[in-house]
Amino acid sequence: MLTLLTGGQSKDCEGHTRREMLQVGALGLGGMTLPGLLATKAHASELGIGVKDKAVVVLFLQGGPTHIETFDPKMTAPSEYRAMFGEVKTNLPGVTFGSHFKRLAGMADKLAVVRSYRHGNGSHASASHHVASGGNATGACMGSLYSRVVGISNPKTGLPLHSIVRPPAIDAKKYKTIGGPADRVTQIGDLPPAFKAFDPSSGGQVIENMKLRVAQNRLGDRKSLLKKLDGIKREIDQTGALDGADRFQQQAVDVILGGVADAFNLSKEDKATVARYDTSEFDIPKWLYKKKNKNLLRQSPVSLGKQMLMARRLVEYGAGFVTVTSAGWDMHGNAFGVDDGMPLLGPAVDKAVSAFIEDLAARGLSEKVLLVVTGEFGRTPKINKKGGRDHWGNLCTLAFSGGGLNMGQVIGESDRTASVPKKDPVSTRQVLATVMHTLFDLGELRLRQDIPRDVYAAIDAGAPIPNLM
């Protein structure tokens, strides 16, 4: 339930704040009433030609996941190049994954793996930005492009349409030290700050953002008001309509009392579902971080499963673009190497992603939600002296699931040492186009006058990956 509070809000030079864009409204306090605000948003939504009923979840493996130990084990290469832990057969004839992906191997028919994705950038910050933005000219990440077209909040639920789920979003106290830099994958480029991803990672901030602040002298006792609104809600539930109110007034009450903040509350989930996602077993052993350094603790995958579960909850509540981040994939050997990193991070991804795919299927959401698994770059084909692999932008990890795309295939091929694409190279622009074509009907979107030219040009800048659409 959203809470009504007294007190003011500071304004910028235009009289607006980022928080107000995530809150429900001001209930007629010197401006548009809440029903009026929702009516405006719904009208805009009706004019939102070209927007499909789809959502995208990007699992961004921060640090640069090794393409060899994930989806291209290359066991025919010399030993210093092939996957360190071997391979596992998938349910697709002749296709294997790295050995830590046993669950995903059993559902490879629900995946499309790309073995020829290349962008050539081996620098963490700039490569992360490049991948997250699809290299578009505005510099905005894909989620911000999406938000610029569809709006900041879902007009029915008030939920932010574009969010990032980092470990502290699950439990701010327990996971506050885990995770990589969010700004590398949420940059807005030339877009206004309002289109930055909503980040609930600051503990209870998400609940604060869902609260409605009103002036005490206009509403009186807020407990009394809540009681009255609860009564109105019960009347709506019993009669199916609010006497004398149009659909926007009814929707306004639903938003206030409908439990938007519950989207971020994993305690609402069935215990068996939480257990299916749970990756807490893949914690970093004390001997390992003592041997390396305590910074290794920031790279634990213990929260990844719950992050993916929250991503599923968010798209169910109406989010359109969610980024989930997982740290630890910079496997040089200084912190994690391939030798000690993959046995922890690999199975965590395998469990969390397979649970997500199965969960979507069970809820009838497989065709609606596209999952993209990637990172800023790949790792060097040859294993180094520290049991790791170094930065490599010439081949990168990339896989898709769902979204109505063509699954059960391997796209492209690497050369004999998994160093460069051998055939059918895939670019970042094609990844961007694949995501945008999933979210939008570009032919219809072209008819809209409310989308800035540079934003539309970024969305329509390339062709999707062949055979996927």
Kindly report, residue by residue over 248-260, the tens digit of the pLDDT.
Answer: 455 444 445 455 6
Query: How far apart, in whole angstroms, are the C-alpha atoms of residue 297 and residue 289?
Result: 7
Share of the chain above pLDDT 70, in %: 77
User: What average pLDDT does this structure show over 434-440?
Assistant: 97
The first and second tokens of residue 182, run together, are 């969010």
- The helix (H) or strand (E) run that includes residue 308 is helix 304-316
In which band, very low, low, confident or very high, does the pLDDT at 265 lie, cut at 50, 70 and 90? Answer: confident
Kindly report, residue by residue over 98-125, the tens digit of the pLDDT.
Answer: 999 999 999 999 999 999 999 999 999 9
- Which 3 state secondary structure label does DSSP give 271? helix
H helix runs in 51-181, sequence order: 67-70, 102-105, 124-133, 142-150
DSSP state of 29: S
Q: Is the pLDDT of residue 353 over 60?
A: yes
Residue position matching structure tokens 């809600």 = 233
In which band, very low, low, confident or very high, does the pLDDT at 268 lie, cut at 50, 70 and 90? Answer: confident
In which band, very low, low, confident or very high, does the pLDDT at 14 lie, cut at 50, 70 and 90? Answer: very low
Q: At what angle do helices 338-362 and 304-316 cross, to 10 degrees?
A: 30
User: What average pLDDT does this structure show over 158-186?
Assistant: 91
User: What average pLDDT does this structure show over 64-75?
Assistant: 98
Q: How many CA atoms lie within 13 A of 426 on its CB side?
A: 27
Instruction: Sketch the domain layout of the chain as residue ranges.
Output: 1-32+211-257, 51-203+262-459
Contacts for 60 with CB less than 8 Å, ≥ 6 apart: 128, 131, 132, 185, 323, 324, 325, 326, 374, 375, 376
Share of the chain above pLDDT 90, in %: 66
Give CA 80 to chain center in angstroms.
34
- Angle of CA points 335, 418, 65, to nearest 5°: 30
Q: Is the pLDDT of residue 9 over 50?
A: no
Kindly report, residue by residue over 293-350, the tens digit of the pLDDT.
Answer: 888 999 999 999 999 999 999 999 889 999 999 999 999 999 999 999 999 999 999 9
Q: How many CB atoms lie within 10 A of CB 91?
A: 12
- The helix (H) or strand (E) run that includes residue 399 is strand 396-402
At residue 259, the pLDDT reads 56
Query: How far apart, in whole angstroms, are the C-alpha atoms of residue 8 and residue 29?
Result: 11
User: What average pLDDT does this structure show over 127-131?
Assistant: 98
Query: How far apart, in whole angstroms, are the C-alpha atoms of residue 169 and residue 97?
Result: 31
Mean pLDDT, the chain, rounded, equals 84
At residue 289, the pLDDT reads 87
Helices and strands: H and E segment counts in the chain: 17, 15
Give the highest mean pLDDT range of 37-46, 75-84, 153-162, 204-213.
75-84
Burial of 1 (0-12, 13-18, 19+ CB in 10 A): middle
Query: How far apart, in whole angstroms, are the C-alpha atoms of residue 162 and residue 314?
Result: 10
Looking at 3.40.50.740, 3.40.50.300, 3.40.720.10, 3.40.50.1400, the CATH number of the domain 51-203+262-459 comes to: 3.40.720.10
Taking Cα atoms as reference points, which of 330, 342, 319, 336 lies closest to residue 439? 319
Query: How far apart, in whole angstroms, are the C-alpha atoms of residue 414 and residue 456?
Result: 33
For 9-65, strand residue ranges (E) read 55-61
- Angle of CA points 307, 308, 312, to nearest 5°: 115
Taking Cα atoms as reference points, which of 383, 404, 403, 381 lies closest to residue 392? 381
Query: How far apart, in whole angstroms, are the C-alpha atoms of residue 170 and residue 306?
Result: 7
